[in-house]
Chain A
Amino acid sequence: MITGSAIFLALLEGSVGAAVLALTALGLSLVFGVMRVINIAHGEFVMLGAVVAWWCSADLLGAHPLLGFLVALAVAPLIVGAIAVAADWLVLRRVNYDPERTIVATMGLLYIIQQGVLMTYGPDARPLDPPIYFRVQFPGFGYSGYKLIVAGLALLLLGATWLFLARTRIGLYMRATRLDSETAQAFGVPVKRVYAIVFALGAMLAALSGVLIAPIRGAHYLMGADPLLLSFIVVIVGGLGNLRGTLLAAAFIGIGDGMISVLFSPTLAKIIATLLVAAVLVVKPGGLARSTAS
């Protein structure tokens, strides 16, 4: 029986999921929008973020889990960003960001990161202590306070990224490169460096969302598949490379996925979402939103 409080719970779960998803998908969307690179390894950056969060909480054993969490929030983006810069420099730049070749290369990157983590971190799914533990009492059920904080942090990070893109010089460079990389270069924008920074920024956003969800889902070397699939879906439904569309689609897909997962089954939710994307791409190959809007 689906009761009112069950629907409310599902809505809440969906909203938390949507906020984190928006963060992950924004990274993928930025990379595609500016570099025209489809990063198949994006989900692995989420996984790396979660694994780093686990290391931080395990290495600071005895200290409060909040300390480990805060350290992870600072360290994970740095480590993952460095890996992304290395991947850009060693691989993507060398094939001149050719769309099809970068897809194959990032698919290789997916295997290298995933199997590398399997070699070092092992095959187990490891749980993390939540950094903060309290329950919020709603009529009919109690809800984990940490999840609400996750949603708040994700929104905060989204806002920060938005300000970075809108207000800083490098953000301006990124937007210029997205619109027309050749003209941007002609006006003195260091396009190659912008590409490296964008790839790192996309990976850092993924890593941050990995840190955020680690205390909820734990850390596991195969956990990158779901975020990859869902952020692909979001980026396409929102219009390839359209940032505002990405955020709208993340809200829509995230809440829908969360609600169907809670009320019916997570697998069914993913099947519906994937078929939705296929339908969208067939009807409008550019995605639902107009791709000319920012």
Chain B
Amino acid sequence: MSGAATRIYAFHLAVIAALFLVQFALPAYHYGNVTRIMLYAVFAIGYNILLGYTGLLSLGHALFFAAGAYGAGLAAHWWGFGPIAALAVGIGAALLVSLVTGAIVYRTTGVAFLIVTLMLAQAAFLSTLYFNTITLGDQGIVLSLPPIALFGASLRLADPMVKYNAALIAFAGALLLSLWLLRSPFGRVLVAIRENEARTRLLGYNTALYRFTALVISGTLSGLAGALYCILFGYVGSSFASLQYSTEPLLWTLLGGAGTALGPLLGAGIMFYLIEFASSTGIEGYMIIVGVALVVITLWFPEGLAGWFRRLKRVRS
């Protein structure tokens, strides 16, 4: 491993270590928030693999998040699966949905790609309402899962510490995977597709296959976030498949900086606290902040915060 690579891995491992240590100092309110932020960051890291690395703008990632959440939720609710088994079913469901979606959309790029993904996610959202005898529709499924037995200890899912560390493990895994992916030959081809697909194809790469694989990895990671969210917070409902859940990972990724490893965490964290602050003011239409953020990013921060920091550093040195 070269010196630069060591430094990059060391930096990101330090971030993970900091997130581990900070749990002993966080007040209860922020403890729960950071747990959610880390799960959202896993969702956004999955999204970033497509948008940031491959350059494909999806408007339908709620589809994968919901596939994971419903896979886990339905397995636990109808078949009485335990947390670990339900999580596995959720990830499996997300993988399956990603494979099918990938097979449908792998020929499309650009505008067509984003509209097909939007349409498929909308079809899924409407299906969760239509088949409400199974999904319980809008109202959703509330789960009460048994504790996990691990090394003789019994981990209750209601315990904030269990939630926090489960989310941290998922986040650490996703972050390291995305770092490794970006530096691997496979990731290099993805970036080449983002920069110039025609040229990459001329070099002999089957770009459609690379895009397909990127979508499957991205969708499965997003589904993992959904499945874990459903298990840790004991709920899944139609809103998980709604347009809002497709907009948010886009917003987090763009805000943090598309194509950067830590951007998704940064974006999810800032947006979470912005929305918390806006809703605490008691104003009814507090989600307007999402709209303002989207417009501000488009106009002034097209590279996101991480990209902006990076440019500042470059200018100074």
A binds B: yes
For the complex formed, measure the closest distance between the CB of A193 and the CB atoms of chain B, giving whole angstroms. 21
Within 8 A of B (CB), among A43-99: 91, 94-95, 99
Q: Please tell me if A275 contacts chain B, counting CB pairs below 8 Å.
A: yes
Q: Please tell me if A183 contacts chain B, counting CB pairs below 8 Å.
A: no
User: Do A108 and B292 have beta carbons less than 8 Å apart?
Assistant: yes
- When distances are taken between beta carbons in the complex, the residues of chain B under 8 Å from A123 are 284
A111 to B274, CA, bound (A): 15
- Total A-B Cβ pairs within 8 A: 119
A38-B111, A108-B291, A115-B288 known; A275 and B298 CB under 8 Å? no
Within 8 A of A (CB), among B104-139: 104-105, 107-108, 110-112, 114-116, 118-120, 122-123, 126-127, 129-130
User: Do A274 and B119 have beta carbons less than 8 Å apart?
Assistant: yes
Q: Please tell me if B162 contacts chain A, counting CB pairs below 8 Å.
A: no
Chain B residue with the shortest CB-CB distance to A36: B111
Which stretch in A10-18, A131-139, A277-285 binds the other chain?
A277-285
- When distances are taken between beta carbons in the complex, the residues of chain B under 8 Å from A119 are 283-285, 288
User: Do B122 and A111 have beta carbons less than 8 Å apart?
Assistant: no
Q: Please tell me if A265 contacts chain B, counting CB pairs below 8 Å.
A: yes
Q: Please tell me if B96 contacts chain A, counting CB pairs below 8 Å.
A: no
User: Do B298 and A108 have beta carbons less than 8 Å apart?
Assistant: yes
User: Do B119 and A278 have beta carbons less than 8 Å apart?
Assistant: yes
Within 8 A of A (CB), among B128-177: 129-130
User: Do A281 and B295 have beta carbons less than 8 Å apart?
Assistant: no
User: Do A111 and B294 have beta carbons less than 8 Å apart?
Assistant: yes
User: Do A111 and B288 have beta carbons less than 8 Å apart?
Assistant: yes
- When distances are taken between beta carbons in the complex, the residues of chain A under 8 Å from B114 are 38, 103
A104-B294, A105-B298, A285-B107 known; A111 and B123 CB under 8 Å? no
Q: How big is chain B's contact interface, by range?
A: 35 or more
- When distances are taken between beta carbons in the complex, the residues of chain B under 8 Å from A267 are 126, 129-130
B-contact 0/1 string along A262-277, CB 8 Å cutoff: 0001011011001101
For the complex formed, measure the closest distance between the CB of A258 and the CB atoms of chain B, giving whole angstroms. 17
A38-B111, A109-B291 known; A101 and B120 CB under 8 Å? no
User: Do A282 and B104 have beta carbons less than 8 Å apart?
Assistant: yes
- When distances are taken between beta carbons in the complex, the residues of chain B under 8 Å from A268 are 130
For the complex formed, measure the closest distance between the CB of B101 and the CB atoms of chain A, giving whole angstroms. 9
> Which residue of the partner chain, among B104, B120, B285, B290, contacts A274 with CB atoms under 8 Å?
B120
Q: Please tell me if B191 contacts chain A, counting CB pairs below 8 Å.
A: no
- When distances are taken between beta carbons in the complex, the residues of chain B under 8 Å from A113 are 291
User: Do B299 and A91 have beta carbons less than 8 Å apart?
Assistant: yes
Q: Please tell me if A116 contacts chain B, counting CB pairs below 8 Å.
A: yes
B-contact 0/1 string along A239-273, CB 8 Å cutoff: 01000000000000000000000000101101100
For the complex formed, measure the closest distance between the CB of A125 and the CB atoms of chain B, giving whole angstroms. 15
For the complex formed, measure the closest distance between the CB of A195 and the CB atoms of chain B, giving whole angstroms. 17
A187 to B107, CA, bound (A): 37
User: Do A274 and B287 have beta carbons less than 8 Å apart?
Assistant: no
Q: Please tell me if B89 contacts chain A, counting CB pairs below 8 Å.
A: no
Chain A residue with the shortest CB-CB distance to B243: A225
A285 to B116, CA, bound (A): 10
User: Do B294 and A108 have beta carbons less than 8 Å apart?
Assistant: yes
Q: Please tell me if B34 contacts chain A, counting CB pairs below 8 Å.
A: no
**Which of A118, A270, A277, A278 counts the most B-chain CB atoms under 10 A from its CB?**
A278
User: Do A112 and B291 have beta carbons less than 8 Å apart?
Assistant: yes
A282 to B101, CA, bound (A): 11
- When distances are taken between beta carbons in the complex, the residues of chain B under 8 Å from A110 are 291
Chain B residue with the shortest CB-CB distance to A112: B291
A99-B111, A274-B119 known; A112 and B286 CB under 8 Å? no
Within 8 A of A (CB), among B285-308: 285-288, 290-295, 297-299, 302
Chain A residue with the shortest CB-CB distance to B283: A119
- When distances are taken between beta carbons in the complex, the residues of chain B under 8 Å from A116 are 285, 288
User: Do B126 and A274 have beta carbons less than 8 Å apart?
Assistant: yes
- When distances are taken between beta carbons in the complex, the residues of chain A under 8 Å from B292 are 108, 111-112
For the complex formed, measure the closest distance between the CB of B193 and the CB atoms of chain A, giving whole angstroms. 15
User: Do A282 and B284 have beta carbons less than 8 Å apart?
Assistant: no
Which 8 pairs from chain A and chain B are nearest by CB? A111-B291, A108-B294, A115-B285, A115-B288, A112-B291, A119-B285, A118-B285, A108-B295
25 pairs from A and B in contact (CB 8 Å cutoff): A91-B298, A95-B298, A99-B110, A101-B298, A104-B250, A104-B294, A104-B298, A105-B299, A112-B291, A114-B285, A114-B291, A119-B288, A122-B284, A225-B243, A265-B130, A271-B126, A274-B120, A274-B122, A275-B123, A277-B116, A281-B108, A281-B119, A282-B108, A285-B108, A285-B112
Interface residues in chain B, defined as those with a beta carbon under 8 Å from any beta carbon in chain A: 57, 59, 104-105, 107-108, 110-112, 114-116, 118-120, 122-123, 126-127, 129-130, 243, 247, 250, 254, 283-288, 290-295, 297-299, 302
Known: A114-B285, A281-B115. 16 other contacts (CB 8 A): A91-B299, A103-B57, A108-B291, A108-B292, A108-B295, A111-B290, A111-B292, A122-B284, A267-B129, A274-B120, A274-B122, A278-B104, A278-B119, A278-B120, A282-B104, A282-B107
